Amino acid sequence: MMTIPPNRTPQTDPFTLSAWVLSQQHLTAPNAKGRLTVLLNAITVGCKFVASAVRKAGLAGNDVLGMAGSSNVQGEDQKKLDLVANEVFKNVLARTGQCAVLVTEEEEEPIFIRPEQRGEYCVVFDPLDGSSNIDCGVSIGTIFGIYKVAPGSEGSLADVLRPGRDMVAAGYCMYGSMTYLMLSTGRGVSGFTLDPSLGEFVATHRDLVMPPRGSIYSINEGNAAMWDAATSAYVAEKKRPPGGGKPYSLRYVGSMVADVHRTLLYGGVFLYPADAKNTKGKLRLLYEGYPMAYLIEQAGGRAIDERCERLLLREPEDIHDRAPVYLGSCEDVDDIERHYKEQGL
């Protein structure tokens, strides 16, 4: 009988996302019943669907670009593709039978799953982040975080109104030049790339570790006149380093998923501070800040708020709460903290 020698090259060992999740569960919870695996699989189906919709958007028969003529809970105009993605994720998640509560950026109230379909996980998500980039074909993404309900809970507001450190998994999918899905179940971060010929996410970034320092800062400089003193001083220092060192480069896509993805891979920092107009910043804590902070920390980086406290420990006041976000390579985020301390925090 012919035996197949172990060969771990990606060409002959397509390590799929489902296989990776099962292997992680085997390590962390050997008695697990595979429920989180089912849930994560459903999320990958949603991501593949949205990736396909994004690829075809604007072509004949796919009239999903442009405005839907409605606005979401934050009063922001909704794009058609936002709404398509929202429906897709709600449907695939509810059908798993593993969810108790869903929170989506697109809907004001949490969605409580009816008893026949109810499970023990809560998913908070931004179905299509980076709205301003949808119609021009620049990278956009889906962000998600997963909590487990409290023991005995049938799914309540309290199950989702919790700090991000309680999440059992978090990730994002970026619809860019390739479709990437970066995921953590609390034991590091791994990245997967959608192989269009297989229709599967295949492991391409195993156990990702961020550089301790980068050379890129990422912020909307158009808001500079409204920044606080610490943010202004930090950015000024990166442009003109003391002692004549090499300045940092500025990169800003305007899609959090793309800006964080680059930060995870190359290092550096991504900031969305509070400013004189947006006193809590712009980014939503539950389904933007926490999942990204979770991934960054799991990859060895650091994520803080304007008090220089761990973002993952911040208590949400509301499911659509916003928070200032500073995340990236540890030493770069330490620099930001130093400026806040110098300004008297």
Beta strand spans in 50-138 (E): 67-71, 77-79, 99-104, 111-112, 121-129
* Cβ-based nearer residue to ligand AHM, 16 or 232: 232
| Residue 129 makes contact with Mg ion by CB under 5 A | yes
Least spacing, CB of residue 255 vs ligand AHM, in Å? 5
| Residue 332 makes contact with Mg ion by CB under 5 A | no
* Cβ-based nearer residue to ligand AHM, 185 or 255: 255
CB 256 within 8 A of CB 129: yes
Residues that bind ligand AHM (CB under 6 A): 76, 105, 126, 129-132, 220, 254-256, 259, 272, 282
Q: Which residues contact 31 (CB under 8 A, 6 or more apart)?
A: none
Residue 332 binds: one of ligand AHM, Mg ion, none (C-beta under 5 to 8 A by kind) = none
| Residue 82 makes contact with Mg ion by CB under 5 A | no
Give the relative orientation of helices 330-342 and 229-239 as an angle to the nearest 10 degrees: 130
Residue 305 binds: one of Mg ion, ligand AHM, none (C-beta under 5 to 8 A by kind) = none
* Cβ-based nearer residue to ligand AHM, 191 or 281: 281
Give the pair of three-digit tokens for residue 70.
């409605």
Residue 278 binds: one of Mg ion, ligand AHM, none (C-beta under 5 to 8 A by kind) = none
> Which residue sits closest to Mg ion, CB atoms considered?
129
Within its chain, how far is the Cα of 162 from the centroid?
Answer: 17
Binding window for Mg ion (CB under 5 A); candidates: 66-74, 121-129, 161-169, 302-310: 121-129
* Cβ-based nearer residue to Mg ion, 129 or 305: 129
Closest CA to 287 of 192, 147, 131: 147
Distance CA 335, CA 238 (A): 10
| Residue 259 makes contact with Mg ion by CB under 5 A | no
Q: How far apart are the first and last CA of the chain?
A: 70
Residue 214 binds: one of ligand AHM, Mg ion, none (C-beta under 5 to 8 A by kind) = none
* Cβ-based nearer residue to ligand AHM, 126 or 159: 126
* Cβ-based nearer residue to ligand AHM, 188 or 254: 254
Task: Candidates 126, 259, 305, 332: give the one binding Mg ion (CB under 5 A).
Answer: 126
Residue 76 binds: one of ligand AHM, Mg ion, none (C-beta under 5 to 8 A by kind) = ligand AHM
Least spacing, CB of residue 63 vs ligand AHM, in Å? 21
Per the rule left: phi > 0, alpha: psi between -120 and 50, beta: everything else, 115 is: alpha
Residue 132 binds: one of Mg ion, ligand AHM, none (C-beta under 5 to 8 A by kind) = ligand AHM
Beta strand spans in 90-229 (E): 99-104, 111-112, 121-129, 140-148, 169-175, 179-184, 190-195, 200-205, 216-218
Distance CA 153, CA 26 (A): 26
| Residue 200 makes contact with Mg ion by CB under 5 A | no
Burial class (CB in 10 A: 0-12, 13-18, 19+), 124: buried
> Which positions lie near Mg ion, rule CB under 5 A?
126, 129
